[in-house]
Amino acid sequence: MSDRFAIPKSISKTAIDSLHAKLSAVDAGWLGTNDNNDSSSSLDGYTQILEQIHDGIEGPHSKRRRQTPLVNAGYAARMAVMTFILEKWIDSVVSRHHNNEGINVVVLGCGLDALGLWSRNVLDEAITEHHHHDENQTPRLNVY
């Protein structure tokens, strides 16, 4: 890979620090499986994607870094809000969907955040919930 396309070290370090903080929040129990049986707000898919990113970068047997309780709570609060907003927005688009328009999610400044990828799972759940099975009538999700 050419140096012209290399990610600056300060940016990649910030992205990896963010990934470790999110996984620390999962390990501390702040993020992850939701026990209230509300599958629409479950973070299992998101957590699995974060773990795959971590294992791909750091290796599958590398030790995760623990963060302070305040950092864990902060990531959990931010993820809860963003998850809620994204789920409600996608559900709203799917429920009032009348033609084959696409859903666009633009992820800016999220480091190695898998929320964009995880939003595809949210769309699949919303489509199943609203019984949209016609491939020609199902909204597409584009993540940028």
Residues 6+ apart with CB under 8 A from 82: 115
Tokens 């940016």 -> residue: 11
Number of domains comprising the chain: 1
Q: Are 91 and 40 in contact (CB under 8 A)?
A: yes
Q: Which amino acid does the sequence have at 99?
A: N
Q: In angstroms, how far is the first alpha carbon of the chain from the final one?
A: 22
Domain boundaries, position 70: 3-143
Q: Are 76 and 30 in contact (CB under 8 A)?
A: yes
pLDDT tens string, the chain, 144 residues long: the values are 455 656 677 777 777 787 888 788 878 887 665 444 444 444 576 777 778 888 888 887 888 788 888 888 887 787 778 778 877 887 787 777 755 567 777 766 655 566 655 666 666 666 666 555 555 555 566 655
Q: Rounded to whole angstroms, how far apart are CA atoms 29 and 143?
A: 28
Q: Rounded to whole angstroms, how far apart are CA atoms 116 and 98?
A: 24
72: which 2 tokens?
Answer: 């864990």
pTM of the model: 0.54
